[in-house]
């Protein structure tokens, strides 16, 4: 419990709080911030403000929607036009790349399109959980799920770095939740989960989210997703 007595040092730590909340600091800096927060109640209060801003920024961005098919059509029309003018020379066959893409192609985005949705959902979740865990360990990340269900009640979650596949699986099972989409953001750490297949009252969703927030061993961040 080291109180930060020097104002410049406190200012330096305070400047790092947004990145600490987002989980993008180096281990060394994160430890410094944690140590400072433990010994400085005012700094901890300010950190709560940062977390509040982070939650609302995610919420705001998640309401922005997505581009229409027009953007993609325009892009590929331009690419086709360029290729018609000057085709590129193919380089050598890249086995690693092919394998990598094959794995990527087995994403839930592809699979969710399938008619066997129930069986697929189980597989999808297992793949995503495994990918989430591997990513948190710094090796890999989850596949993108572009065609997730829209019916029901949802939340956005970031799993804790130390959470294992079992932890995540048990956590989802305990809340009868399913992973339906992700990663949602550039860092690849946010996932959308479905809390219920039917639309729950706002209060009930809030209650579930608050319960989830208390499970800090498994989740680093949870917020209701409308």
Partner 1 sequence: MQSTSDEVLIGRIANGDRLAMQVLYARYHVRVFRFVVRLVRDEGTAEDLISEVFLDVWRQAGRFEGRSTVSTWMLAIARFKAISALRRRSDEELDEDAAGAIEDPSDDPATALEKKDKSASIRKCLMGLSAEHREIVDLVYYHEKSVEEVAEIVGIPANAVKTRMFYARKRLAELLKAGGIGRGWP
By the criterion CB under 8 A, which residues form the site for partner 1?
14-16, 18-19, 21-25, 45-46, 49-50, 52-61, 64-68, 70-72, 74-76, 78-79, 82-83, 87-91, 94, 96-97, 100-101, 103-105, 109, 131, 134-135, 139-142, 144, 146, 183-190
Is 146 or 174 the residue whose CB approaches partner 1 more closely? 146
- Please identify, using beta-carbon distances, which residue of 23 and 161 lies nearer to partner 1: 23
**Long-range contacts: 14-17, Cβ < 8 Å, 24+?**
14/43, 14/46, 17/43, 17/46, 17/47, 17/50
Q: Which residue has the tokens 């865990």?
A: 133
Minimum gap (Å) between residue 116 Cβ and partner 1: 22
* Nearest approach, Cβ of residue 67 and partner 1 (Å): 5
Give all strands of the β-sheet with 178-181 in edge-to-edge order.
178-181, 190-196, 153-159, 219-225
User: In terms of CB distance, is 70 or 198 closer to partner 1?
Assistant: 70
Least distance from C-beta 32 to partner 1, angstroms? 14
The torsion defined by the Cα of 126, 130, 135 and 137, in degrees rounded to 10, comes to: 150
Nearest residue (CB) to partner 1, 90 versus 150: 90
* 3-class DSSP state of 55: helix
- For the CB of residue 114, give the shortest distance to partner 1 in the complex, in Å: 17
Which residue's CB is nearer to partner 1, number 13 or number 177? 13
Nearest CA-CA partner of 216 in 143, 150, 158, 137: 158
In a 3-state reduction of DSSP, which class is residue 106?
coil
CB within 8 A of 97, min separation 6: which ones?
Answer: none
Q: Which among 153, 27, 148 is positioned nearest to 35, based on CA atoms?
A: 27
CB of 110 to partner 1, least distance (A): 10
């Amino acid at each position: 419990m080291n109180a930060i007595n020097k104002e410049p040092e406190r200012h330096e730590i305070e400047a790092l709080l947004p990145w600490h909340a987002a989980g993008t600091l180096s281990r060394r800096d994160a430890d410094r911030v944690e140590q400072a927060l433990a010994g400085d109640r005012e700094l901890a209060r300010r950190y709560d403000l940062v977390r509040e801003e982070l939650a609302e920024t995610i919420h705001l961005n998640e309401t922005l929607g997505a581009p229409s098919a027009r953007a993609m059509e325009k892009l590929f029309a331009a690419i086709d036009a360029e290729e018609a003018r000057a085709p590129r020379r193919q380089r050598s066959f890249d086995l690693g790349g092919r394998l990598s893409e094959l794995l990527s192609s087995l994403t839930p985005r592809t699979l969710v399109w399938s008619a066997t949705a129930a069986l697929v959902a189980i597989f999808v979740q297992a793949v995503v959980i495994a990918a989430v865990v591997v990513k948190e360990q710094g090796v890999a990340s989850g596949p993108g799920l572009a065609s997730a269900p829209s019916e029901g009640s949802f939340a956005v979650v970031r799993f804790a770095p130390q959470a294992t596949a079992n932890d995540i699986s048990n956590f989802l099972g305990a809340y009868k939740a399913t992973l339906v989409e992700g990663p949602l953001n550039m860092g690849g750490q946010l996932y959308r989960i479905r809390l219920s297949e039917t639309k729950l009252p706002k209060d009930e969703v809030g209650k579930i989210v608050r319960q989830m927030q208390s499970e800090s061993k498994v989740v680093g961040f949870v917020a209701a997703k409308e």
